[in-house]
Chains A and B, each alone.
Chain A
Amino acid sequence: MNLLEVKDLRKTFTLHLRGGLQLAVLRNISFSVAAGECVALVGPSGAGKSTLLRTIYGNYRAESGSVTVMHDGELVDLTRVPPQQLLVIRRHSIAYVSQFLRVIPRVSTRAIVASVLKDQGVRSPDADARAESILLTLNLPLRLHGLPPATFSGGEQQRVNLARALVTDHPVLLLDEPTASLDAENAAVVLSLIQDAKRAGRAIISIFHDPDMTVRVADRQIPITSLTENDR
């Protein structure tokens, strides 16, 4: 069963401050991801892999085409839903891990991770316990849970970001270089969590900076190529 279907997706940026310069990034992107499957987006830097992930999540607005996601038992086109519904679908059905952690300053790491569950209606002690558990799995020791992540290293912040997406059971998971700042040991933990997510029937789309990771965890590769003048 497909949990995500991307069809004829197209994205151009118009830079009004640069005299209306048009940047064509995505053209004719079509693929689907089934439950329990991990697909890797591969291609040269600047080809538009991150833009594709963000357009699927609705962080960037699709110019045309569709992004259909399984939400609450039905397929919904994210490019057509009203903002209120997109927010509900993100809360329950599609999660995205960017390369950057953006949170309210001075809030504890535990609270940041638990808030994702609380937004889904999970109560406080349970949400906190699940947050602690995933943070520990990601090798973030208990003594860090009460601290805000602002002073953490890049790798630690990236694991907090991953914890936010892995603490829930969103059926569709979008990962942008989830292991980029991690050492081998922590990268292996993330790899095994992705394997767990696949076994749990989640659909994963990921960009890996390390080709070896792609080979080890991805069931398929989707090539994203830089556009030439002819494509525009």
Chain B
Amino acid sequence: MSYRPVPILMARDLTLSFGTLRALESVSLEIYPGEVLAIVGESGSGKTTLLNTLYGVLAPGAGEVRFGENGELDRCVQTLPRQQLRHLHRSAWGYVHQNPRDALRMEITAGGNIVERLMAAGEKHYGTLREKALFWLQKVEIDPKRIDDLPTTFSGGMQQRLQIARTLISHPYLLFMDEPTSGLDVSVQAGLLDLLRNLVSEQRMAVILVTHDLAVARLLAGRIAVMQRGRIIETGVTDQVLDDPQHPYTQLLVSSVLPA
């Protein structure tokens, strides 16, 4: 078989304890270019802890996360110098928080928020920055007239769109998302899901998506990993795992969802 995709990120045997609590127990996974991997499970199962460990803001007690863009996993998140990690976080990787207020700078305008990554990368030309800000506002379906307004005047759904624009402007090849739609009204959620699906397929990004919502995982993710008590207990193609779950816990999780 000639088909051998090369992962852009690979975690091996991640273990992490908070005091006596085992938050991660030998977790291994791979992310391939252009795919969406959903990490699902109940609250407290270790989803966000795993995401933050992969991202490099939590240090595992054991194991490592390797990554690389050019078909070689030649760099390691845990041994990367702090400054390089910070640079990675501002450019080639992106992180979308559940609460947009954790990422946005509430005291600067929408436009200022969107172009922050470009400015950090050295772009100084006002006209170019303004043009990019307008472009991305349109892309996430926010009225460009709001460019000079503060995010505090935006609704929750608009703040989340702003956070997405601000993150995607640097064209990251890997995006980390922590419950990006769960704080929103269902009507807003549908629009955001559609937007994310289109942006992901258009930008060819890889996405690691943490969600407790199996319906969100089904609509966005090609692959899924189910977590329970700090372990990945089942993985596979999303519809396969949700429609034909093998592990007792996955069967419980899937059968516990109220049909809409």
Contact = CB atoms under 8 A, between A and B. Distances in A.
Interface stretch (B113-121, B143-151, B162-170, B234-242): B234-242
Contact of A118 (B35, B201, B240): B201
B252 A17 contact: yes
Contacts of B244: 13, 54, 59-61
B223 interface: yes
A60 B240 CA distance: 6
Contacts of B212: none
A162 to B, nearest CB: 19
Contacts of B193: 104-105
Contacts, number: 66
A14 B250 CA distance: 12
B237 A87 contact: yes
A83 B239 CA distance: 11
Nearest to A14: B246
A76 B219 CA distance: 26
A102 interface: yes
Given A15-B251, A118-B201, A104 B219 contact: yes
A16 interface: yes
A34 interface: no
B122 interface: no
Contacts of A107: 190, 194
A65 to B, nearest CB: 15
A163 B201 CA distance: 21
A86 B236 CA distance: 10
B231 to A, nearest CB: 17
A83 B194 contact: no
Given A16-B248, A17-B255, A118-B201, A58 B190 contact: no
A30 B32 CA distance: 34
Contact of B243 (A60, A84, A88, A118): A60
18 contacts: A16-B247, A16-B252, A17-B252, A17-B255, A59-B239, A59-B240, A61-B240, A76-B1, A81-B1, A83-B222, A83-B236, A84-B35, A87-B237, A102-B218, A104-B194, A104-B219, A106-B190, A107-B194
Q: Which 4 A-B pairs rank lowest in CB-CB distance, beginning with the nearest? A: A16-B248, A105-B190, A60-B244, A106-B190
Given A54-B243, A105-B193, A118-B201, 9 more contacts: A15-B251, A58-B237, A61-B240, A81-B1, A83-B235, A86-B237, A87-B223, A87-B237, A103-B219
